[in-house]
């Protein structure tokens, strides 16, 4: 099978664009990704489009109505917050299979403000606040407190994740926010669901990101190898059975399974990774994934954040983009935006937040507790 390369990739600056349509927002990132590699929509043989909010609305085709109706195959993908990564992986799969040699993947989302989730629904009465909470901040608070139960992780350690990611985002012009948030500010901001304060919850924003993926032969033919990023691993998992599944979405098992398979596919270990963009939908979640991705031994996550290992300049920088906490989290776009971030570092083009000498990076997203997408990327020079 051929290797597959990201030859063009970009994202728009995340923000709130109520005056635009979803296809318009998606089109912007596609045009930027095409410009990144000097290709046009007429060079693309298929489009894999990730979007959640209008999952039945043929967003991919409507994007082509904006930027070029070339008649190519369009696949519309929805997989919760793993939507973008899933669209990217479908594109990668088609190139690996030899079906196409130059395809597009895009992730796009237009979000409202406010709480996501909620317990119950259906007939009868609301179960929210009666049988616990199904709000996302509470669900991820419970996942974090499971870690606290096992390893003694503290509120302060969870909060430090948010301090770090907000600091990183001050160096990322494409992040929603560029604001320093000291520890006291994070810990004293409005408590949403203990231990997640408002500054420890990801930001609902609109956004899009896109990537052009080519086969090895095509990448060479086009003369694009010098900035190309090799996809060393692409893994998608669903949630294996766990005893508490029925009441606790399990972000751990699907991540551990995906990480193991991704390292195997790449022939690499966690120690070979130079930077990680992982799914910090809440500050509590980031801590869990240090363990899950093997960045430390199980239970070592609290020490990793205390010691600064995961900050820019540390042993294994995590979410130097600012992460979902500060860059923002447009659900369907997130899984390609993190591929943009890692690719930009591997190309040495990340400016003030550049992870020096980065050669291999890992991206990770979670779709609720039931989908996990991991990609390992490498700059071949």
Partner 1 sequence: MSDQPLPVVDYMKIPDDGDPYLEGHKCGKCDAIYLGERSICSKCGVRDQMGTTKLSTQGNLYSYAIVHRSFPGIEVPYISAVVDLDDGATLKGNLINVDPDPEKIEFGMPIEVIFADALGRKDSDGNSYLSYFFQPRS
Interface residue list for partner 1 (CB under 8 A): 115, 118, 123-133, 135, 137-139, 141-143, 145-146, 148-149, 155, 190-196, 241, 243-244, 246-248
CA 188 to mean position of chain CA atoms: 27
Q: Is 120 left (phi over 0), alpha (psi -120 to 50) or beta?
A: left
Q: Which is nearer to partner 1, 18 or 124 (CB)?
A: 124
Q: Least distance in Å: CB of 85 to partner 1?
A: 24
**Cβ(244)–Cβ(324) below 8 Å:** no
Minimum Å distance from CB 158 to partner 1? 12
Structure tokens at 250: 């399990």
Phi/psi for 235 (5° steps) reads -130, 140
State which H helix or E strand residue 211 sits in.
Answer: strand 207-215
The answer to whether residues 211 and 104 touch, using CB atoms and an 8 Å cutoff, is yes
Can you tell me the distance from the alpha carbon of 48 to that of 74, in angstroms, rounded to the nearest whole number? Answer: 6
- Three-class DSSP category at 314: coil
Q: Closest approach of Cβ 246 to partner 1, in Å?
A: 5
Strand order in the sheet with 371-379: 73-77, 46-50, 102-109, 207-215, 4-11, 229-238, 371-379, 360-367, 275-277
Please say whether the beta carbons of 294 and 145 come within 8 A.
Answer: no
Which CB atom, from 56 or from 123, has the smaller least distance to partner 1? Answer: 123
The residue length of the chain stands at: 381
Q: How far is the CB of 153 from partner 1 (least distance, A)?
A: 12
From the CB of residue 51, how many other CB atoms can be counted at a distance below 10 Å?
32
40 versus 126: smaller Cβ distance to partner 1: 126
Task: Please pick, among 37, 81, 102, 372, the residue that the annotation labels catalytic.
Answer: 81
Backbone angles phi, psi at 175, to 5 degrees: -75, 150
Q: Considering the complex, what minimum distance in angstroms separates the CB of residue 374 from partner 1?
A: 23
Phi, then psi, of 197 in degrees rounded to 5: -85, 175
Nearer to partner 1, 133 or 157 (CB): 133
> Residue 118 Cβ, how far from partner 1 at the closest point, in Å?
6
Q: Which of 166, 168, 279, 329 is catalytic?
A: 329
CA distance 172 to 151: 33
Tell me which residue has tokens 């966690």: 270
Q: Based on CB atoms, which residue is closest to partner 1, 184 or 356?
A: 184
User: Is 141 or 376 the residue whose CB approaches partner 1 more closely?
Assistant: 141
Q: How far is the CB of 120 from partner 1 (least distance, A)?
A: 9
Q: Is 81 a catalytic residue?
A: yes
- Residue with Cβ nearer partner 1 (65 or 244): 244
What's CA 210's distance to the chain center, in Å?
A: 13
3-state secondary structure of 298: coil
Q: Are 326 and 165 within 8 A, CB to CB?
A: yes
Reported as half-sphere exposure (CB side, CA atoms, 13 A), residue 19 has a value of 0
Catalytic sites, residue numbers? 81, 329
């Amino acid at each position: 099978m051929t290797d597959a390369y990201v030859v063009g990739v970009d994202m728009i600056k995340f923000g709130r664009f109520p005056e635009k349509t979803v296809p318009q927002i998606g089109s912007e990132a596609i045009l930027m990704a095409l410009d990144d590699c000097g290709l046009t929509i007429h060079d693309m043989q298929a489009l894999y489009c990730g979007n959640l909010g209008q999952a039945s609305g043929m967003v991919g085709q409507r994007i082509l109505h904006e930027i070029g109706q070339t008649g190519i195959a369009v696949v519309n993908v929805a997989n919760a917050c793993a939507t973008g990564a899933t669209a990217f992986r479908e594109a990668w799969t088609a190139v690996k299979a030899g079906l196409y040699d130059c395809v597009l993947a895009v992730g796009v989302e237009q979000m409202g403000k406010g709480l996501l989730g909620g317990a119950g629904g259906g007939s009868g009465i609301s179960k929210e606040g009666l049988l616990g909470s199904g709000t996302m901040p509470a669900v991820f608070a419970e996942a974090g407190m499971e870690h606290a139960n096992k390893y003694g992780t503290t509120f302060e350690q969870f909060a430090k994740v948010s301090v770090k990611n907000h600091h990183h985002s001050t160096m990322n012009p494409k992040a929603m926010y560029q604001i320093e948030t000291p520890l006291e500010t994070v810990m004293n901001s409005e408590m949403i669901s203990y231990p997640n304060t408002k500054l420890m919850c990801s930001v609902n924003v609109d956004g899009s990101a896109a990537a052009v993926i080519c086969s090895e032969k095509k990448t060479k033919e086009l003369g694009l190898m010098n900035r190309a990023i090799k996809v060393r691993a692409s893994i998608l998992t669903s949630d294996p059975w766990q005893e508490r599944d029925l009441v606790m979405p399990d972000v751990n098992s699907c991540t551990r399974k995906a990480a193991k398979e991704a390292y195997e596919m790449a022939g690499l270990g966690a120690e070979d990774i130079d930077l990680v963009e992982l799914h910090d939908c809440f500050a509590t979640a980031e801590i869990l994934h240090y363990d899950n991705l093997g960045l430390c031994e199980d239970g070592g996550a609290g020490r990793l954040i205390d010691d600064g290992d995961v900050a820019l300049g540390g042993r294994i920088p995590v979410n130097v983009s600012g992460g979902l906490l500060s860059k923002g989290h447009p659900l369907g776009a997130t899984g390609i935006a993190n591929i943009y971030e890692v690719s930009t570092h591997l190309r040495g083009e990340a400016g003030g937040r550049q992870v020096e000498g980065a050669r291999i990076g890992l991206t990770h997203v979670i779709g609720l507790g039931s989908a996990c997408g991991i990609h390992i990327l490498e700059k071949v020079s």
